[in-house]
A and B are shown apart, each in its own frame.
Chain A
Amino acid sequence: MKPEEALEQVAYMRRLVNQSRITMSGFGPYFILWGVLWIVGYLGSLWFPGGVRDYVWPAIYVIGFGASFWPALRRGSGPSVPTPALFKKLSWLSLVLLVGAVALPFIFFQKPEQHTVNAYYPFVIGLIYVAQGIFYGGTIIAIGAWLIVAGVASLWMPWPLQSQFLALAGGGSLIVTGLVLRRQVSRE
C-alpha cells in the first residue's frame, strides 16, 4: 500500500464515522428558529395588545413545532442513510418530555401565575437539554445549563425586565447555539 492510499483509507473511515454518529450538528436551523420565536414570544407578550397577547405563545408552539416536524414528515422514507436507533428513541423521548413540560403547569394549576411560568419554561427546557447533552455533547449541555440559570435568575426580576431578559438571554443563546451547530456542519 502507498501512503496516498493510506490517507484515502483514513479519509473514508472518517467520512463513515461522521455520517453514522449521533449528532445534533444538523439541527442548527431549528435552534435559530426557536431562538427567534422565543424572542417574539417574550417580547410579544409585552408589546402586543391585550386581546392578541393570549394567542402569542400558542401561535408560537404551532409555528415552531410545525416548522420543526414538517420537513421530517415530508421527507418520508426518502433518506438513504438510516437514523441510528438511539437517536430516534432520544428524539421521541425529548418530544414527550417537552410536551409534558409545556402542559404541566396548566394541568396542576388552572391559571398559573405568569411570572413563574415565564421562568419555568427556560428552566425545564434547560433540564431536557442537559439530559440530551449526555448523548449529544458539550454544546447542548452548555445551552441547557445556561437556560436553567437564566430561568432561575429571572424569578427575582420584576416585570417587564423578566420578559426582556428571557428574550435576550434565552432566545439569544438559542440563536448562538444554532450558529455554533451550523459552523460544526460546515467544518465536517
Chain B
Amino acid sequence: MSDGVLGDLNELFHVKARLGIMTLLISQGESDFSTLKAHLGLTDGNLGAHIRVLEEAGYVGVEKGFVGRRPRTTCRVTEAGRKAFAAYLHQLEALIRMVDPDKL
C-alpha cells in the first residue's frame, strides 16, 4: 500500500517518542518530566526536544514549578492536542482495518 492513501496522517505523532509522550499524557491526565523520562527511556535532552516540538505545535502545555526546593516540569495535553491525537488514532484504526491478517 502506498503512503498516499492516508496522506494527511499527522507525521508529528509518528515518531515513537512523541507517540509515547502523547499516550502517557492522555492516559495519566498530566505527567512530570522525570516520570515521562523513566517510562519512555529517553535522555533529558531527547525528551526535552520532543516536548518542545509538541509544545510548538500547540499540542502540549508545559508548566515549570517547584516541589519544595526541587524544580518540577509538568506536561499536559491541550485541547488541540487531544483532538489531533484522536484524529491520528482514527487514521491508525482505518489503516489497521485494511490489514489482511494472512499477510502479517
A residues near B (Cβ < 8 Å) are 1-4, 6-7, 9-10, 12-13, 16-17, 19-21, 80-82, 84
Which residues in B have their C-beta under 8 angstroms from that of A17?
23-24, 27
If A17-B23, A20-B28 are given as contacts, then 15 extra A-B residue pairs at C-beta distance below 8 Å, sorted by A number, are A2-B95, A3-B95, A3-B96, A7-B96, A9-B92, A10-B92, A10-B96, A12-B20, A12-B23, A17-B27, A20-B27, A21-B27, A80-B41, A81-B39, A82-B35
Report the nearest A residue to B40, measured CB to CB: A16
Stretch of B1-9, B43-51, B54-62, B76-84 that contacts chain A: B1-9
With an 8 Å Cβ cutoff, the count of chain B residues facing the other chain is: 24
Most buried by A among B38, B95, B99: B95
B residues near A (Cβ < 8 Å) are 1, 3, 6, 9, 14, 16, 19-20, 23-24, 27-28, 34-35, 38-41, 92, 95-96, 98-99, 104
- What number of A-B contacts does a CB cutoff of 8 Å give? 59
Neighbour of B95 across the interface among A1, A16, A84, CB < 8 A: A1
Report the nearest B residue to A79, measured CB to CB: B38
Report the nearest A residue to B1, measured CB to CB: A2
CB-based closest 6 A-B pairs: A6-B95, A3-B99, A13-B23, A6-B92, A17-B27, A3-B95
Which residues in B have their C-beta under 8 angstroms from that of A6?
92, 95-96, 99
Do the beta carbons of A16 and B39 come within 8 Å of each other? Answer: yes
Do the beta carbons of A3 and B24 come within 8 Å of each other? Answer: no
Per the bound structure, the CA–CA distance linking A80 and B37 in Å amounts to: 10
Report the nearest A residue to B39, measured CB to CB: A20
Contact flag A16-B98 (CB < 8 Å), given A9-B92, A82-B34: no
Which residues in A have their C-beta under 8 angstroms from that of B95?
1-3, 6
Which residues in B have their C-beta under 8 angstroms from that of A9?
14, 16, 19, 92
Most buried by A among B16, B27, B40, B104: B27
Do the beta carbons of A16 and B104 come within 8 Å of each other? Answer: no
Which residues in A have their C-beta under 8 angstroms from that of B92?
6, 9-10
Neighbour of A13 across the interface among B19, B34, B96, B98, CB < 8 A: B19
Which residues in B have their C-beta under 8 angstroms from that of A21?
27
Which residues in B have their C-beta under 8 angstroms from that of A82?
34-35, 38-39
A101 to B: closest C-beta gap in Å: 31
Per the bound structure, the CA–CA distance linking A2 and B16 in Å amounts to: 15
